[in-house]
A and B are shown apart, each in its own frame.
Chain A
Amino acid sequence: DQQVKQNSPSLSVQEGRISILNCDYTNSMFDYFLWYKKYPAEGPTFLISISSIKDKNEDGRFTVFLNKSAKHLSLHIVPSQPGDSAVYFCAADTNAGKSTFGDGTTLTVKP
């Protein structure tokens, strides 16, 4: 039973346009949601997070939206740049400090 799902294995967008990466979850006890970015041969790096009591968090070009009633969150990247090409993981925390990850979405930004 996968508690965090990223249903799109890949996404391709043009440079300068918006990238929207989606994530669904099933566990109502998650209290924080995080996005990580992973380049080949490197570990995932933290990008942005959102508390379960918020519906939006913004950091520069990156915005995460949370819809608790739908158990859905999304990461928006505007404008997308070729350097954003990477695998993006959605993760969710419980207060036990254990993070549950989705299977990732590979984003390709074309120049």
Chain B
Amino acid sequence: ETGVTQSPTHLIKTRGQQVTLRCSSQSGHNTVSWYQQALGQGPQFIFQYYREEENGRGNFPPRFSGLQFPNYSSELNVNALELDDSALYLCASSAGQRSGANVLTFGAGSRLTVL
């Protein structure tokens, strides 16, 4: 059983650029969530995808967008990068069941630095 894998692990961009982060879900999971973790803070919910549709969104502007593919892998796109977008971006997959706790399986994250 493979876990959640994310790429790239580290990247550096400049203000105004665009970035795409990628995530492969754990086998058997059909739901993907993306989180932003700033230094010293907990993960903040960006959005969730289920069956290729956005299924909930946190307090992030529209320049944060995503996709989920038929194989349940996912992308996070951020346009017009700002300095405050510098953070660890975590992808998490889950089974999407609604009985029981929503247990997330996280990847190791993509560390984005915006200069």
A interface, CB within 8 angstroms of B = 4, 6, 32-34, 36, 41-46, 49, 51, 89, 91, 93, 95-104
Residues of chain A contacted by B35 (CB below 8 angstroms):
101
Residues of chain A contacted by B56 (CB below 8 angstroms):
96-98
Q: Which residue of B lies closest to A100 (CB)?
A: B45
- Is there contact, CB below 8 Å, between B42 and A89? yes
Q: Report the bound CA distance from A36 to B101 in whole Å.
A: 13
- Is there contact, CB below 8 Å, between A89 and B101? no
Would you call the interface of chain A mostly helix, strand, loop, or mixed? strand
Residues of chain A contacted by B112 (CB below 8 angstroms):
none
Instruction: Return A75 CB to nearest CB of chain B, in Å.
Output: 14
- Is there contact, CB below 8 Å, between B90 and A97? no
Q: Mark B39-62, 1 if CB is under 8 A from A, else 0.
A: 011111100100000011010000
Specify which of A43, A97, A99 is in contact with B55 (CB 8 Å cutoff): A97
Specify which of A42, A98, A104 is in contact with B45 (CB 8 Å cutoff): A98
Q: 30 A-B contacts, Cβ less than 8 Å apart?
A: A6-B42, A32-B102, A34-B102, A34-B103, A36-B104, A43-B4, A43-B107, A43-B108, A44-B90, A45-B106, A46-B104, A49-B101, A49-B103, A51-B101, A89-B42, A89-B43, A91-B42, A93-B101, A93-B102, A97-B31, A97-B48, A97-B55, A97-B94, A97-B96, A97-B102, A98-B48, A99-B45, A99-B104, A101-B43, A102-B42
Specify which of B44, B92, B104, B108 is in contact with A42 (CB 8 Å cutoff): B108
Q: Report the bound CA distance from A6 to B43 in whole Å.
A: 13
Residues of chain B contacted by A45 (CB below 8 angstroms):
106
Q: Report the bound CA distance from A96 to B100 in whole Å.
A: 12
Residues of chain A contacted by B86 (CB below 8 angstroms):
none
Residues of chain A contacted by B102 (CB below 8 angstroms):
32, 34, 93, 97, 99
